[in-house]
A and B are shown apart, each in its own frame.
Chain A
Amino acid sequence: MTTVIHAAGLRKEFGRTRALDGLDLEVQQGEVHGFLGPNGSGKSTTIRVLLGLLRADGGDVSLLGGDPWSQAATLHRRLAYVPGDVALWPNLTGGEVIDLLGRLRGQADDRHAGGRRAELLERFDLDPTKKGRAYSKGNRQKVALVAALASDAELLILDEPTSGLDPLMEEVFRECIREVRDEGRTVLLSSHILSEVEHLCERLTIIRAGRTVQTGSLTDMRHLSRTAVDVELDRSPVALESAPGVHDLRTEGRRVHLSVDPDELGSVMNLLTQCGIRRITSAPPSLEELFMDLYRRPADTAREVGARP
């Protein structure tokens, strides 16, 4: 498999702030790679280095086999980018922007791209005749998404692409990304929401404070998808501490907080049902909780997960 994005020990400083502090990122051809991290962790900075908009202070970086800084314009023919916060020209319509970005990318406007453009506009329910200033945040994002998805770029770089989309559109977006993956194209998808990348990505890179905390396949990170359960019971619970797959148990009288491994969810639920459930809420762990979890463990074990086959 060919490496599409390779970054090792990437460093970038803005004045006294260290935005990237030895970041590693490895994306293989044909994969949808999740790029996770809390706000301000360096996701956008990394992407801007990959696009040649920023020059890294140190470390190795290559993109589609070239140097993203010195060969920016040439490499950009082969990729499409959707920024996290899309700003459009106030007096240009969405349709004009889509056409313009396609042509600037050096893409021939053949019938295939034209048909795909129309189909995407329909699926995303986007009116291409509105002026840039009249679009909401979500619709501006759709304009950039349609422009990127209509292209035949071999690499899509998407920076929090669904932050302005409603759930219905998020589903359309997921379908589109799956299609892109089936065509053998590569996607780098940044997000700060774990559940978003869970649905789409085979492999993930998790970063924090400009460093890669963990990288690997979703299966490797099985433990990341523990479910947090908050439950109120009729009777005080028994035997939860020793039950397999239960973590972070906290008991306040009849109220119990715990997180459960996905494989043991059924048996733990049985245990809880025996105590009589009055009220229950469950949620996938937030990214912040995961980080706290990751940081509680020594750094070397955290890193090793990615190295495991």
Chain B
Amino acid sequence: MSPSGTGTLLRLALRRDRVLAPVVVLLLGLTAWSTAAATVALYPDPAQVTSAAVAANASPALVALYGPVHASLGSLASLKMLSTGAVAIALAAVFLLRRHTRTEEETGRVELLGAGALSRHAPLTAAVLHTTLVVLLASALCALGYAASGLPVAGSVALGLAWLVAGLAFTGITAVAVQLTSSARTVAAIAGGGVAAAYLLRAVGDAAGDGPARVLVWLSPLGWAQQVRPYAGERWWVGLLALAFTAATTALAYVLRSRRDLGSGLFADRAGPAHTTMGSPLALAWRLQRSAIVGWSLALVLMGAVLGGFASSAATLLDSPQARDMIRSLGGTGSLTDAFISAEFGIMAAVVAGFGVAAALRMLGEETSTRAELTLSTATSRWSWLMSHVGLALVGSAGILALLGAGAAAADGATRGDLGDSFARVLPAALVQVPPVWVVIGVAVLLYGTASRLAVGAWVVLAGCLVIGQLGELLALPTAVQGLSPFRHVPMLPGAAFDPTPVVALVAVAGILVVVGGSLFRRRDLH
């Protein structure tokens, strides 16, 4: 492996990601930081820590979702960061590595560079180094945040190591995945599926308690992250295991790379149909988005089932005066179960808005790739082209939220033995989140319609909503600032009374944003 060109490519990657990489690092790091501070404030009394840990471990659903809690404040505070945080960093690694390898090959940019003095392995080496750097910085920030919140330094460093374990392992897995297929989307499906499988293995293993299925945890890189055991007798050697795994997978990736041509995958593309019945911009948009919509639907209905399954046991875990205060400060007025569902749906709504923005901004990808030019050179009007994509984003996000609600209602109903009541309470709680999601999509359409270069601003807006929703109360942001997030205006169902005014208003705002954005799009140049 000659390093020829690796340094240049690494500098290019850093320059391309000069905004993206710091945002990823800061978002992950600061989320960890704020979670640590919030949990430490929640349990001032060591006795509460013990009782919360006992309560958490008593619920198999909760153990499956987050893993077991050890009886220390640090363990309780790092519960979410060790499970969902590790998933987030794994996904970041998948995304970054793919971005700088297969996506570059698919667009033909590597070919452009390959003509220069560049060794065959340089793009992979540079991408692995770049991803490692981002993962390392996020992990370091996480460790720093936990230590700064007054938790033991050794445990905090171990938590950072756990993140590093998850990030590096999936860097290696993705490095292999990008060699297999010529499609960047399929890479995302393989590596993303790997993250899901790792999560599932860990969940099943953890839920097994001391049973024989416990060993499954060790088959999962996310399980390894947890087995570093921050704040509960740190096992530093797990870091070496992960390092060996990463080295082995990366080495495999180099071997596979030597056996394939640039631009192709190890598995050849299958031939497809020579004819199609597609004949409208909507049919095309559906064809481009359907796998994403199906994937999201499956993931969210499962997520709903998990949330619904332990909604009632979660109430036990959160049963401390401080937790009650916190739930109440978030607006939950009814029972803790209701407040829990409402809060979780609020978070999931922001995630679904991510789908909505990505679906609407498919238009941006179509425009920059000049495929939009091809479509719009036909009798397809700009308005119908735009509305096909936007309509799919609006209907798709509503459908996905409905599935989330249905999954949660079914699981909650099965637990409590009253399906009818669960559907009547839980499904509307999910559907009430549709209007704010539509507003975010509307903002994306407005920005895209104004100018294509502004479109990425929709992600900034969504991140802002997320920060307000998750940290608004903790940071004591002024009400006016918090009111900027459309998610702040929906009735906190179930529990709170249903007030139609804000819901109708949000739908109207979304409609106006889409219409104005669409009209602006019809008036601007296409690039």
| A144 and B278 contact, CB distance less than 8 A | no
| A119–chain B nearest beta-carbon distance, Å | 14
User: Which of A48, A55, A86, A93 makes the CB contact (< 8 A) with B271?
Assistant: A93
B279 partner residues in chain A, CB cutoff 8 A: 99-100, 103-104
A99 to B269: give the CA distance in the assembly, Å: 21
| B276 and A73 contact, CB distance less than 8 A | no
| A104 and B274 contact, CB distance less than 8 A | no
| A48–chain B nearest beta-carbon distance, Å | 7
A177 touches B (CB below 8 Å): no
Q: Which of A28-36, A77-85, A192-200, A211-219 contacts B (4 or more CB under 8 A)?
A: A77-85
Residues 232-255 of B, flagged 1 when their CB comes within 8 A of A and 0 if not, give 000000000000000000000000
| B278 and A76 contact, CB distance less than 8 A | no
Q: Which of B301-309, B372-380, B503-511 contacts A (4 or more CB under 8 A)?
A: B372-380
B382 partner residues in chain A, CB cutoff 8 A: 72-73
Q: Among B106, B185, B272, B369, which residue has the most Cβ atoms of chain A within 10 A?
A: B272
| B272 and A87 contact, CB distance less than 8 A | no
| A131 and B269 contact, CB distance less than 8 A | yes
| B183 and A100 contact, CB distance less than 8 A | no
User: Which of A55, A79, A127 makes the CB contact (< 8 A) with B525?
Assistant: A55
Q: Among B106, B280, B288, B380, which residue has the most Cβ atoms of chain A within 10 A?
A: B380
| A84–chain B nearest beta-carbon distance, Å | 9
B377 partner residues in chain A, CB cutoff 8 A: 51, 53, 76, 79-81, 83
In the complex, the chain B residue whose C-beta lies closest to that of A147 is B374
| A174–chain B nearest beta-carbon distance, Å | 23
A54 touches B (CB below 8 Å): yes
A262 touches B (CB below 8 Å): no
B106 partner residues in chain A, CB cutoff 8 A: 90, 133
B288 partner residues in chain A, CB cutoff 8 A: 89, 91
User: Which of B278, B371, B373, B380 makes the CB contact (< 8 A) with A99?
Assistant: B278
| B379 and A104 contact, CB distance less than 8 A | yes
A226 touches B (CB below 8 Å): no
| B168–chain A nearest beta-carbon distance, Å | 29
User: Which of A83, A91, A130 makes the CB contact (< 8 A) with B374?
Assistant: A83
| A115–chain B nearest beta-carbon distance, Å | 14
| A104 and B183 contact, CB distance less than 8 A | no
A90 to B103: give the CA distance in the assembly, Å: 12
In the complex, the chain B residue whose C-beta lies closest to that of A54 is B525
A266 touches B (CB below 8 Å): no
B342 touches A (CB below 8 Å): no
| B273 and A95 contact, CB distance less than 8 A | yes
A52 partner residues in chain B, CB cutoff 8 A: 376
| A76 and B379 contact, CB distance less than 8 A | yes
Q: Among A79, A86, A129, A134, which residue has the most Cβ atoms of chain B within 10 A?
A: A134
A89 to B270: give the CA distance in the assembly, Å: 15
| B183 and A87 contact, CB distance less than 8 A | no
A144 partner residues in chain B, CB cutoff 8 A: 374
| B381 and A73 contact, CB distance less than 8 A | yes
Q: A77-B379, A104-B379 known; A134 and B182 CB under 8 Å?
A: yes
A38-66: which have CB < 8 Å to B?
48, 51-55
| A129 and B369 contact, CB distance less than 8 A | no
A96 touches B (CB below 8 Å): yes
Residues 130-146 of B, flagged 1 when their CB comes within 8 A of A and 0 if not, give 00000000000000000
| A68–chain B nearest beta-carbon distance, Å | 11
B109 partner residues in chain A, CB cutoff 8 A: none
A96 partner residues in chain B, CB cutoff 8 A: 272-276, 278
A86 to B288: give the CA distance in the assembly, Å: 18
A74 touches B (CB below 8 Å): yes
A261 to B383: give the CA distance in the assembly, Å: 54
Residues 427-461 of B, flagged 1 when their CB comes within 8 A of A and 0 if not, give 00000000000000000000000000000000000
| A53 and B526 contact, CB distance less than 8 A | yes
| A105 and B275 contact, CB distance less than 8 A | no
B71 touches A (CB below 8 Å): no
A57 to B277: give the CA distance in the assembly, Å: 39
User: Which of A55, A95, A104 makes the CB contact (< 8 A) with B275?
Assistant: A95
B256-308: which have CB < 8 Å to A?
269-281, 284, 287-288
Q: A81-B377, A91-B183 known; A133 and B278 CB under 8 Å?
A: no
| B289–chain A nearest beta-carbon distance, Å | 11
B370 touches A (CB below 8 Å): yes
A53 partner residues in chain B, CB cutoff 8 A: 373, 376-377, 525-526
| A296–chain B nearest beta-carbon distance, Å | 36
A85 partner residues in chain B, CB cutoff 8 A: 370
User: Which of B275, B370, B374, B523 makes the CB contact (< 8 A) with A101?
Assistant: B374
A249 touches B (CB below 8 Å): no
A99 to B275: give the CA distance in the assembly, Å: 6
| A90 and B185 contact, CB distance less than 8 A | yes
A133 to B184: give the CA distance in the assembly, Å: 10
| B451–chain A nearest beta-carbon distance, Å | 12
| B272 and A131 contact, CB distance less than 8 A | yes
Q: A53-B376, A83-B373, A85-B370 known; A129 and B273 CB under 8 Å?
A: yes
A87-130: which have CB < 8 Å to B?
87-93, 95-96, 99-101, 103-106, 127-130
A134 partner residues in chain B, CB cutoff 8 A: 182, 269
| B273 and A104 contact, CB distance less than 8 A | no
| A105 and B370 contact, CB distance less than 8 A | no
15 contacts between A and B (CB under 8 A): A52-B376, A54-B526, A73-B381, A83-B370, A93-B272, A93-B273, A99-B275, A99-B277, A103-B279, A104-B375, A105-B378, A127-B271, A128-B274, A130-B272, A134-B269
Known: A52-B376, A87-B371, A88-B371. 11 other contacts (CB 8 A): A76-B380, A87-B374, A91-B185, A93-B271, A95-B272, A96-B274, A99-B279, A104-B284, A130-B271, A131-B269, A133-B183
Interfacial residues, chain B to chain A (CB-CB below 8 A)? 106, 182-183, 185, 269-281, 284, 287-288, 369-371, 373-382, 523, 525-526
Task: List 7 A-B pairs, minimum CB-CB distance, nearest first.
Answer: A103-B279, A95-B274, A104-B378, A93-B272, A73-B381, A81-B377, A96-B276
